[in-house]
Structure 1
Amino acid sequence: MCWKLVRLNFGQNLAHFGEVGIGLEQTSERVRSDTLFSAWISAYAKLFGKEAVGQLLKGYEEHPELAFRVSSTFIYRRKGNRYTYYLPRPLVFPKGYPGSSEEDDLEFAKVYKKLNYLPLKIWHRWYQTEIGFTEDDREELITKAQAGNEKDIDRNGDLYKAGTFDYSKFFKFDLVPKVAVDRITRATNFYHTGFVKFHREPEKDEDAGLYFLISFPHSFDRTLEKNLKISLDLLGEEGIGGERSTGAGRFEAEWLELDNLWTDILKPSNLINPHYCLISLYWEKSLPDGLLRKSACYEILARGGWIASPFSGRQLRRQSIRMFAEGSVFPILPQGELADVRPKDFKNNHSIYRSGVSVSLPINTSE
């Protein structure tokens, strides 16, 4: 596989990333893989036409091993020339995680469970190396639980230095007041819309944004990569997510080669009990045998939303499906496929796809 890392820099732009069951008042801080794929393919269709995008999607049905795969987006933070990338914490304990019943373990477990995302360095050590979770990690988490405020935290520990407790500092949510005016009665309706804004301090040479991984098979058409780059640039100009008419969701994309740490994460050595952790959503019509064995640990999300077909000009609610979430762990490598979520009354002669094509990373699991 040929892997690339793509960073999305939103600058000062706000973004609105809605989820099923969340009103306009709330937003997520990131975009999941199915939403990214749909928006990207829509931009691809605008540039290269119905036939070209049809051929691209047809490849997922006829030759899925030759199709490109995209992960969900996750937070990155830049400070000078140093980047910190975050990955979802797998839903299994890392090797070395204590199972004792000491009094302080209750506080320790509460702090651990709040770490939904881990910096790359800690993620790699906990889940892909022989070191795993150490006694020093345990003590640092206990100290974090007992700290009255930020000043009391142990700043010399590996977890703190890696940015393990800083995830929520790199974005913030704001409510923006808006007014809707009825076209007939001219009656007004006051409401709020939630937006996410990513951390940015030019005076300190710091900022944050989103990134994702994309993989291509070894033998793939370089023209496809070029066209995908052009399409992503168009998507960046139009914006991703909701409230795009107000300029929300606009970004600049940067394609990068992977560094040595990422290479080690994609191809770890000496895994004792290899399992696979999702970093994208995953759906398959018929789940493979052995996927849900006892060692599997997973979360399921309902995914719905609206379609915006560039060829029909219609907006309809697509069919809802249930997908495995990022951080889910399986004993065999999940592949995934596209789900046709056309509304029942959608009469146009093309499918509406939601991507369940998965991207996962190999990990060790605790005994």
Structure 2
Amino acid sequence: MKTFSIIKLTNLSPIHIGMGREVTDNSAHTLHSDTLSAALAAIRVQTKGAERIKEFINSFSISSAFPFWEGQLFLPKPQGRLHVKVEEKEESEIRKVLKGVQYIESSLWNKLIKGEVLCVKPNQIHRNLLLAESSNSLHPIISRSQVNERVSVSREDGRDAEPFFFEWDFYHSKAGLYILTDAKEELFEELYDLFTILGEQGIGTDRNIGGGKFEVEKGGTIELGETNENSNGQLLLSLFIPTEEELPKINLKSSHYSILLRGGFMAGSYNERLRHLHKKNIYMFNVGSFFKTEDHLQGKVVDLQPNWNSDEIHPVYRSGLPLSVPVKMINYE
């Protein structure tokens, strides 16, 4: 098993995670690990300067942000078929129901990735969550989305204002997001301080009107996964860019994974004149991906600096360092 430290993001203001400048009527809903580590690196540049920033990014791994409800933590559904039985439902019905599940309560998740078959009641599946308890009083609604109509006013004389739609995610006061990290001692304290500043500045779109702000709490530690001796693979809790050397070793034919195209604008740059530039794109393996390998996943940090003829341009580092746990998936199809 692996032990991770927890950082909780609480009292979240409405947040919009951009999917591209032209797309505002949908939010991406998920704060991924590469976005978070890049935001922390940008704040570190603001507070300590750009010296040794790549060394800093290479010094830790963090997960993507996952939801919590009061004391319950939820983890991403593993890719592939889930070995879950639902009372009073046929196999075909179960597959349809489980298709909508995105997150699994941590105690159930830990059983599932140790090779156990879960037997649950129908009311443990609520919206996109698989709950640990079947009590009717425990049906959390962690967040709600709301699309508002707004107006863009042109700075050019004679041009009409243009309406557009904008989606916000609103989090319940008892809920929020949390991040797992392998950072220890002084490095963990530094990450915690950087997250505190990030919460004050906000993350996502429209930070200037209060979007994406939060408070930070230390959530203790959590043990996840199987022992290395009993595991038959690694499961991602972050995005992941393999090195060229390890790509043949992760056995993609026997693995179950999805990939994401990552890119976007240099919105986190300390230089406002560069924030309109589009970073280079790169594909990453998504959270929940399972790799049937006995090797430790290494990953790498990449520079997505755009081709721009200016002395002001600077590296745009994106972390593909994995946060993964050893798992034992049975009869993985």
TM-score, normalized by length of structure 1?
Answer: 0.78
Cα distance between partner residues in 1 of 2:189 and 2:175: 26
Q: Which residue of 2 aligns with 1:210?
A: 177
Runs (5+) with no aligned partner, structure 1? 151-156, 201-206
Q: Which residue of 1 aligns with 2:285?
A: 324
Q: Which residue of 1 aligns with 2:7?
A: 6
Checking the alignment, whether the CA contact within 8 Å between 2:45 and 2:53 is kept in structure 1 is no
1:23-72 Cα shifts (integer Å, max 9, x gaps): 10111333000111111111111111122xxx141366xxx5xx111110
- Identify if the C-alpha distance between structure 1 residues 162 and 33 changes in structure 2 by more than 3 Å, giving closer, same or farther: farther
Tell whether 2:315 aligns with 1:314.
no
Q: Which residue of 1 aligns with 2:146?
A: 174
Shift of 1:344: 1.1
Shift of 1:166: 4.9
Cα distance between partner residues in 2 of 1:317 and 1:88: 29
Shift of 1:210: 0.4
Higher alpha-carbon Rg: 1
Name the aligned partner's letter for residue 54 of structure 2.
L
Cα distance between partner residues in 1 of 2:110 and 2:45: 37
Cα distance between partner residues in 2 of 1:252 and 1:213: 16
- Identify if the C-alpha distance between structure 1 residues 273 and 232 changes in structure 2 by more than 3 Å, giving closer, same or farther: closer
Checking the alignment, whether the CA contact within 8 Å between 1:20 and 1:303 is kept in structure 2 is no
- Identify if the C-alpha distance between structure 1 residues 290 and 9 changes in structure 2 by more than 3 Å, giving closer, same or farther: same
Cα distance between partner residues in 1 of 2:114 and 2:22: 35
Listed as ranges, the matches of 1:231-242 within 5 Å are 231-242=194-205
Q: Which residue of 2 aligns with 1:188?
A: 161
Cα distance between partner residues in 1 of 2:199 and 2:272: 23
SS at match of 2:250: coil
Cα distance between partner residues in 2 of 1:255 and 1:107: 40
Q: Which moved more, 1:289-298 or 1:13-22?
A: 13-22
Name the aligned partner's letter for residue 291 of structure 2.
F
Runs (5+) with no aligned partner, structure 2? none
Q: Which residue of 1 aligns with 2:44?
A: 44
Give 1:350's match in structure 2, choosing from 311, 314, 324: 314
Cα distance between partner residues in 2 of 1:48 and 1:5: 24
SS at match of 2:199: helix
Shift of 1:361: 1.4
Cα distance between partner residues in 2 of 1:118 and 1:108: 15
Give 1:197's match in structure 2, choosing from 137, 151, 170: 170
Q: Which residue of 1 aligns with 2:76?
A: 88
Listed as ranges, the matches of 1:1-367 within 5 Å are 3-11=4-12, 13-19=13-19, 23-51=23-51, 55-58=52-55, 64=58, 67-78=59-70, 83-94=71-82, 104-128=90-114, 132-134=116-118, 136-137=119-120, 140-141=121-122, 159-161=132-134, 166=139, 169-185=141-157, 186-200=159-173, 207-216=174-183, 222=186, 224-258=187-221, 262-263=222-223, 265-266=224-225, 268-269=226-227, 272-286=230-244, 288=246, 289-308=248-267, 309-311=269-271, 313-315=273-275, 316-332=277-293, 333-345=296-308, 347=310, 348=312, 350-367=314-331
Cα distance between partner residues in 2 of 1:47 and 1:24: 31
TM-score, normalized by length of structure 2?
Answer: 0.85
1:136-169 Cα shifts (integer Å, max 9, x gaps): 33xx35x889xxx99xxxxxx9854389x957x2
1:212-254 Cα shifts (integer Å, max 9, x gaps): 111126xx7x2x4443332222111110111111110000111
Cα distance between partner residues in 2 of 1:73 and 1:297: 21
Aligned length: 318
Q: CA RMSD in A?
A: 3.0
- Structure 1 segments of 4+ aligned residues over 4 angstroms from their partners: 157-160
Cα distance between partner residues in 2 of 1:256 and 1:119: 16
SS at match of 1:362: strand
Shift of 1:271: 6.2
Cα distance between partner residues in 2 of 1:343 and 1:21: 17
Shift of 1:77: 0.6
As a proportion of its length, which structure holds more helix? 1
Percentage of pairs with the same residue: 25
Checking the alignment, whether the CA contact within 8 Å between 1:271 and 1:364 is kept in structure 2 is no
Name the aligned partner's letter for residue 180 of structure 1.
S
